Structure 1
């Protein structure tokens, strides 16, 4: 990567990885983690400036409660052999320092649908685009601060119990869960498909 103005940003994008093995330790204060999430939710663009993204940041017992809820629900639904595999993964997430829950506020989405009916069918998709950007910004920023994270999707199985446990508004739709903590092992090797097959350049 060159030393152009965009180089630090692009380097951060490249070095962000999925980290599953994390400890109940942090490299930065809780206040800084909250600041990162707030910054992402505030500044990431949204269609028609709908500002539909929401987040809940969990530390301590609140963090472990997410994964206790998830395990209880999965245990009741999965065959024993499948649950054994999932249990190991979830205990790894539970061993982390915290979790960020990402939501999209359906009140905001429906408001946009009513205001711009010609785009009504597209607004739920636009909402997911915004959420994906928020998640990526938080993930990349945590990585730059020395924390490891991964992105999980146990919704909609856990939605109702999460809503009850953390007093989440009914209109907030759970999108993903991001457990994080101090990495205890490196990410695995990442492979790439040929970039020329994935990006076309047209000049005329």
Structure 2
């Protein structure tokens, strides 16, 4: 992967190096993946657990649940995803979908992110005033955990891309890996050795995106 230029932020007239911003810039969608990852599976599991544990959740509810698939188990996921998508995809478009899924299978593994709906429902019952918000906050927590893990992997020169084939694959995932019915699948983070860099990233104009008042 390309080296990221060190970011500097002007604070009180001083330009400070911002390592965290550099780490965010290093996190890109890498679609050309291989299985040649130098970090051991044990170390990866330890890292993923630590990052998810340290990712915030509303009311410290810790709703995130994770299944980590390596090697043949990882390939199995993308094989049956292909099977499930074939009858749902226009025939002319399926070769492109098939090629994309086979590309995912070439990676080292996939991290399945779930949210525990029993915890969400319990919070809704305990705090009725915020009941409508707990599913939203749960999804936000999942997104935070996903991007945190993704960013951490990038620091180890491990490429990744985030997919969302739920709910098409939900039932089969539960059958294959015995996940409880209260675990709701929210995303699939495919990872492996980066075999080609990410493309250029375009940014919309700041004037259309940010508003600042009171300065």
Structure 1 residue 42: deviation in Å? Answer: 0.8
Alignment of 1:1-204 (within 5 A): 1-2=7-8, 4=16, 7-203=18-214
1:34 CA displacement: 0.9
Aligned partners of 2:87 and 2:209: how far apart in 1? 42
- Structure 1 runs of 4+ aligned residues shifted over 6 Å read none
Gaps of 5+ in 1: none
What is the count of residue pairs matched by the alignment? Answer: 203
Contact 1:27 1:146 in 2 (8 A): no
Per-residue deviation, 1:4: 3.5
SS in 1 for 2:162: coil
Distance 1:159 1:124 in 2: 18
Q: Work out the CA distance in 1 between the residues paired with 2:38 and 2:122.
A: 40
Which structure is larger by alpha-carbon Rg, 1 or 2? 2
Moved more, 23-32 or 171-180: 23-32
- TM-fit CA distance, 1:55: 0.6
- Deviation of residue 74 (structure 1)? 0.5
- 1:8-31, Cα deviation, whole Å (9 max, x unpaired): 111101121000000021131112
Report the TM-score when normalising by structure 2: 0.91
Give the Cα separation in 1 of the matches to 2:25 and 2:213. 25
Q: What TM-score results when the alignment is normalised by the length of structure 1?
A: 0.96
Unaligned runs of 5+ in 2: 1-6, 9-14
